[in-house]
Structure 1
């Protein structure tokens, strides 16, 4: 049996499901929010892309699925207001192992779009979300096709990262920032 089949989250909404046992993950997502905001603002200010392409690796299924995406959209909206710019379109790819409960994610998309429409006037028409099942141990996207990767509680599954890679540098920066707080 492959490790991906053994070490995956429990789907659904039962007592032992990830959806009902993910408060610690939510706490961490909220604690690193300033780092996320700083990173996404810096990226956007360098590119001012008309379409910001984001991938969330290990998105899971439950109450935390859309939390980082909301923070990113909120941060970009504030940055655009500061610079008197129109917000970009968002192309968002939610990635997790195929065993993830993608049906539950897709069923909750309507509520997410409604919240964006209600709180971010018109931005829901600029937000496009797709599921990308598969392990990030293999290539999921073409070269240079994603502007920003988000991952919370999944990078520890990496067995090897080449030294000097941007991932290694980013993890080092995030690690330092976490230890400063």
Structure 2
């Protein structure tokens, strides 16, 4: 019987964890932040974009460290600031985090208060 190994991140805490070893990913996220903001602002410019009272954000393949929540926070902040400039009520946000079942989602949820 062939055994297949599934790639997964190390748990969310400790020296070998993804959260402690994701500075490269954080650097890339910082580099693409202006592109993300521009894309979000382009979407908001479309009059049909904010017709819904709820905006859903999905991170498919999220990290267990702070990187995923950082990107989501940036999206929410960009939309909220744009709505204020347009004198519109910001929508309610629903965020969906999804990845392998073996990921340590508890670490992601523990970091929510800092966001």
**SS of residue paired to 1:93:** strand
User: What is the match of residue 27 of structure 1?
Assistant: 27
User: What is the match of residue 162 of structure 1?
Assistant: none
User: What is the match of residue 57 of structure 2?
Assistant: 54
Q: 5+ residue gaps in structure 2?
A: none
> 1:66 and 1:100 mapped to 2: Cα distance?
15
User: What is the match of residue 111 of structure 1?
Assistant: 114
User: What is the match of residue 73 of structure 1?
Assistant: 76
Pairwise CA distance, 1:2: 4.0
User: What is the match of residue 92 of structure 1?
Assistant: 95
Give per-residue Cα distances to partners, 1:101-133, cap 9 Å, x unaligned. Answer: 011122222333xxxxxxxxxxxxxxxxxxxxx
Q: 1:76 to 1:2 in 2, by over 3 A?
A: farther
Root-mean-square deviation (Å):
1.5
> 1:55 and 1:82 mapped to 2: Cα distance?
25
Q: Which has the higher contact order (CA 8 A, sep 6+)?
A: 2
TM-score by length of 2: 0.86
> 1:29 and 1:56 mapped to 2: Cα distance?
14
**SS of residue paired to 2:87:** coil
> 1:65 and 1:2 mapped to 2: Cα distance?
28
> 1:104 and 1:94 mapped to 2: Cα distance?
12
Runs of 4+ in 1 over 4 A off after TM superposition: none
Q: 5+ residue gaps in structure 1?
A: 113-181
> 1:39 and 1:13 mapped to 2: Cα distance?
33
Aligned pairs, number: 110
Pairwise CA distance, 1:95: 1.1
Moved more, 102-111 or 89-98: 102-111
